[in-house]
């Protein structure tokens, strides 16, 4: 059995698969060459992350495929239903990267709250000549403790984010059209555990009450946050989108930053990946990362191990 991990896979995953007798190929094949490569090499399993797309054309043209695997949560780059109709197993790793994404959200939140994204740009350039001016410019930070964080989308990643927020002393409110409540267990270094029950509320209430808002929703046809939603928010709100590009109206975001409604925001994902709009890249009110929510060594090890386990169970 041959596996093509086109967007890579951790050594943990490779070892598990090879120990089970599979041949693992980590060549990165260009999208337009995938069909020929899969057929020439009789590939049984293709593993992707967000870069490679597995659409109807590949599914129809590659009869050797038995499994399509997504290292991560969202599968909007795979024609899932069509693949299943054709008898192909489609797998993903919904729990493996939840905590990594949650930590990135808080890396952005702490950075935005204390202007680290700006200070880290300015200090190398002007720290020796304008130290006092920079100190004054960035002296109006805010603490997260005691503030309200609104979580839009309360699945695995949203709940993982809520756990970090509780640990930071924040008030957590959440909205999810499909989830009424979340039971969260926090585990501490000394073996203690604490349980919290968070009941979801309306989207409008989350928007109106939150000092900080973070999105953890799948790709959708309409914006989750657009002009009407910005109007409901508190003045000076801080936003984070580490979910999917296109769930926030980026043009409206810049407009509401300019109006002062949104103080600052963080984007890990963009409507136009991998070429985000220049007005986003150059805006000093934005903290930006290049879609690295799940990009930790620990998460990639968990993803590789989880994919390997599922493949072995299906094919052995």
Please name the residues in contact with 260: beta carbons below 8 A apart, sequence gap of 6 or more.
Answer: 235, 236
> Is 222 an active-site residue?
no
Which of 244, 250, 264, 306 is catalytic? The answer is: 244
Which of 103, 117, 271, 273 is catalytic? The answer is: 273
Q: Pull the structure tokens for residue 314.
A: 């299906």
Pick from 289, 287, 235: nearest CA to 263: 235
Between vectors from CA 10 to CA 4 and to CA 14, what angle results, nearest 5°? Answer: 55
Between vectors from CA 118 to CA 114 and to CA 119, what angle results, nearest 5°? Answer: 75
Residues 149/174, Cβ–Cβ less than 8 Å: no
Which of 99, 291, 302, 306 is catalytic? The answer is: 291
> Is 103 an active-site residue?
no
Q: Pull the structure tokens for residue 212.
A: 């900080």
CA distances from 222 to 205, 226, 237, 248 (A): 20, 9, 22, 9
> Is 291 an active-site residue?
yes
Q: CA-to-CA distance for 244 and 220, rounded, in angstroms?
A: 9
Residues constituting the chain: 316
Give the residue numbers marked as catalytic: 244, 273, 291
């Amino acid at each position: 059995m041959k596996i093509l991990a086109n967007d890579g896979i951790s050594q943990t995953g490779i070892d598990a698969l090879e120990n089970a007798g599979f041949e693992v190929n980590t060549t990165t094949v260009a999208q337009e060459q995938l069909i020929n490569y899969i057929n020439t090499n009789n590939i049984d399993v293709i593993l992707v992350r967000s870069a490679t797309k597995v659409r109807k054309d590949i599914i129809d043209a590659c009869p050797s495929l038995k499994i399509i695997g997504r290292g991560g949560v969202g599968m909007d780059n795979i024609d899932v239903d069509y693949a299943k109709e054709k008898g192909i197993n489609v797998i993903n790793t919904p729990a493996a990267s939840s905590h990594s994404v949650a930590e990135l959200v808080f890396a952005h939140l702490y950075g935005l709250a204390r202007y680290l994204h700006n200070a880290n740009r300015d200090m190398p350039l002007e720290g020796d000549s304008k130290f006092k001016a920079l100190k004054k410019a960035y002296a109006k930070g805010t603490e997260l403790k005691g503030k309200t964080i609104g979580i839009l989308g309360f699945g695995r990643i949203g709940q993982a984010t809520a756990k970090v927020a509780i640990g930071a002393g924040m008030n957590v409110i959440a909205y999810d059209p499909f989830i009424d409540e979340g039971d969260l267990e926090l585990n501490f270094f000394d073996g203690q555990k604490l349980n919290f029950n968070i009941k979801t509320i309306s989207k409008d209430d989350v928007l109106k009450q939150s000092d900080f808002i973070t999105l953890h929703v799948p790709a959708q046809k309409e914006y989750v946050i657009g002009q009407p939603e910005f109007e409901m928010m508190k003045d000076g709100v801080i936003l984070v989108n580490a979910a999917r590009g296109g769930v926030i109206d980026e043009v409206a975001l810049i407009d509401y930053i300019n109006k002062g409604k949104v103080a600052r925001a963080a984007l890990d994902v963009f409507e136009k990946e991998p070429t985000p709009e220049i007005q986003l890249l150059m805006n000093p009110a934005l903290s930006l990362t290049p879609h690295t929510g799940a990009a930790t060594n620990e998460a990639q090890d968990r993803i590789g191990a989880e994919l390997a386990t599922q493949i072995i169970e299906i094919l052995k």
